[in-house]
Chain A
Amino acid sequence: ETGVTQSPTHLIKTRGQQVTLRCSSQSGHNTVSWYQQALGQGPQFIFQYYREEENGRGNFPPRFSGLQFPNYSSELNVNALELDDSALYLCASSLIKGAGVNTEAFFGQGTRLTVV
């Protein structure tokens, strides 16, 4: 177990709705990265949050947004859901120590989102 927890584990939403996914980072970590994993594919980087600000973003539209809280936990919000948003959403936590030193990233179990 990595100590990274995600909620909920499964979720079914209707096209056009909005969804919020949550992630608690591992103790001692200050950075959360979010990924989308479609069935049979490798995870794709959505964005990363550090010090409550976005610290890098992948090729995802603005309807994918996030937050990081003072306790380093994070939320992923997706607006105007599309059928192609159906995927496993993963968060990974790590520690940025400064001066370019970063610890390895550890993943949570994921949230399985189904859009119908």
Chain B
Amino acid sequence: QQQVKQSPQSLIVQKGGISIINCAYENTAFDYFPWYQQFPGKGPALLIAIRPDVSEKKEGRFTISFNKSAKQFSLHIMDSQPGDSATYFCAASKSGSGNTGKLIFGQGTTLQVKP
């Protein structure tokens, strides 16, 4: 049973543009929502994470927008650069002991930023 749905599967953006990746979840018990970036042959790297007590969190060029009522959250990459070309995963987990390590991942979005 897929609990976190991610879209689009792939995305092509011009350099300097905005990349937007969306995720939807089903379980209202989820209360931790991180985004990870993965390059080929590497492990996922944490980009930014949000908890449902805020609707937006920004770190540099990366922003998470969170809509609790719609059970959706999204990643916005501003001023996208070719170096941002990677696979991006959203994830979610429920509160509790060790929850930040018990993640349910989306299927991933492959982002290509064209020069």
**What CA separation (Å) do A45 and B89 show in the bound complex?**
14
Q: Who on chain A is nearest to B100 by CB?
A: A102
A103 within 8 A of B: yes
**What CA separation (Å) do A33 and B100 show in the bound complex?**
10
Q: Mark A97-116, 1 if CB is under 8 A from B, else 0.
A: 00010111111111000000
**Overall SS of chain A's interface:** strand
Which residues of chain B in 65-111 are interfacial with respect to chain A, using CB atoms and an 8 Å cutoff? 89, 91, 95-108
A42 within 8 A of B: yes
**Given the known A-B contacts A96-B97, A104-B34, A107-B44, are A43 and B103 also in contact in the complex, defined by CB atoms under 8 Å?**
yes
A-B pair count, CB < 8 Å, reads: 79
B60 within 8 A of A: no
Whether A105 contacts B43 by the Cβ 8 Å rule is no
B49 within 8 A of A: yes
Give the contact stretch, choosing among A14-22, A48-56, A79-87: A48-56
**What CA separation (Å) do A87 and B102 show in the bound complex?**
19
Which of A40, A41, A42, A104 makes the CB contact (< 8 A) with B46?
A104
Q: Mark B49-68, 1 if CB is under 8 A from A, else 0.
A: 10000000000000000000
Query: Interface residues, chain A, CB within 8 Å of chain B?
Result: 2, 4, 31-33, 35, 40-45, 48, 50, 55-56, 90, 92-94, 96, 100, 102-110
